[in-house]
Homo-oligomer: A and B are copies of this chain.
Amino acid sequence: MDDSAASPRLQQGGVSKVEAPKPRARDLGLPFPGRCGPCNAITDVPGVEVGYATLVNGEAVRTGVTMVLPRGLAGRATSPVWAGFHALNGNGEMTGTHWIREAGYFLGPIAITNTHGVGMVHHAVTRWMVERSQREPGPYAWFMPVIAETCDAYLNDMNGFHVQEEHVREAIEGARGGAVAEGNVGGGTGMICYEFKGGTGTASRVLSVGGGSYTVGALVQANFGLRPWLRVLGVPVGEHLTENRIWSAEQGSVIALVATDAPLLPNQLERLARRAALGLGRTGTPGGDGSGDLCLAFSTANATHGEAGGSSVEAMRFIPHHLLDGMFEATAQAVEEAVINALVAAETMQGRDGRQVDAIDHGALREVMQAHARLARRDSRP
């Protein structure tokens, strides 16, 4: 892993400021397995870019938008991105999935926002894609973008519908590669995870499969879980850190995005999406009824295949099924670490009606891990 991976300089699109480096989960000595990429982020997958708009205004606006651009801002909006979807628990929204199930691909950016922002973000992304496509060749006449959500109504005035078209454009146009901001940023701004302050988290794995080297990256908008369920690397942290609880029943949701440059068939990407659910499960959740736990896996490979203009047989590269175990484990690992990264990065936040959600205390977390013999030296980078 690149030396800067655990705490890279943060980039943050949109309205939010550049923050000073802050520790990530590995910096705390959490011994995550596997080898991560240079930024330990979804952007380690070549071409993938992330942009944010973060809205923190007054006492009650705590929300935003996160954009993941599979082919980057410079990429064509009308190039298929092969993908697979899985709902661990379908109490949430992710648009665009009927076509992903049918054809195995989507077009354009993936947006994540708050539950009641789905409509405006869908509107804005569609309009952006219409404009963008007019500068591209090809016959596209309609767009059905992928917009997902988790609910920030506890801290944010979600019924105020504060996410506007301009924020969507900021997030798209601010997208870039490299290190990715985590915690209270973008769509993750007002989110809550295992009753600690949650938000955006990311991680990656690099692995060799069938003679090639590939990256698997995850980005989560983590807004799920009851405290007693929380496990960190298998340690029942939630049974020890019992202060400042919020919920009596699951209220949240989580969106887990998995990116890879490995060439995979759509049904293989659905297999990865199902392993993303296992990664969520590793943090303790049984998939609470109130939680929309939606997983989308996509590959940046096979970029030019299946485009609307194509008129003959094409060839989709793929890794044979029986070589995929490493990809499956990498997916689960990256999603698990991304959730913990979101927890570690998030900072205590006050929101509407004087409510406060506390960040997990890094020292207390380390103590519990230490007590269970699951703490490495300060920096656990392999």
| A residues in contact (CB < 8 Å) with B | 87-104, 115-116, 118-127, 130, 141-144, 147, 151, 153, 158-159, 161, 210-212, 226, 229, 231, 233-236, 249-251, 263, 265-267, 271, 274-275, 277-278, 281-282, 285-290, 292, 294, 305-308, 310-325, 328-329, 331-332, 371-374
Contacts and interface: CB of A to CB of B under 8 A. Distances in A.
Contact of A373 (B325, B328, B371): B371
A333 to B, nearest CB: 8
Contact of A287 (B122, B267, B328): B328
A96 B322 CA distance: 17
A321 B289 contact: yes
Counting chain B CB atoms within 10 Å of each CB, the highest count among A98, A101, A118, A374 belongs to: A98
B289 A274 contact: no
Given A119-B121, A144-B115, A289-B324, A102 B316 contact: no
Given A144-B92, A305-B320, A286 B249 contact: no
Given A142-B153, A289-B322, A332-B286, A122 B118 contact: yes
A147 B147 CA distance: 13
B142 A151 contact: yes
A142 B116 contact: yes
A318 B316 contact: yes
Contacts of A125: 119
A151 B143 CA distance: 10
Contact of A93 (B119, B124, B144): B144
B103 A321 contact: yes
Contacts of A235: 234, 372
Contacts of A87: 98, 101-102
Given A90-B100, A120-B120, 13 more contacts: A87-B98, A88-B274, A90-B103, A103-B289, A104-B267, A116-B127, A119-B119, A119-B123, A212-B312, A231-B234, A278-B285, A306-B318, A314-B319
B328 A98 contact: no
Given A103-B267, A267-B102, A325-B249, A119 B124 contact: yes
A124 B307 CA distance: 33
B323 A271 contact: no
Contacts of A277: 277-278
Given A123-B119, A126-B118, A320-B307, A287 B313 contact: no
A287 B102 CA distance: 12
B328 A289 contact: yes
A130 B159 contact: yes
Contact of A95 (B93, B126, B267): B93
13 contacts: A89-B271, A90-B99, A90-B103, A91-B98, A118-B123, A210-B310, A229-B329, A250-B325, A265-B266, A267-B267, A281-B332, A286-B329, A316-B318
A251 B322 CA distance: 10
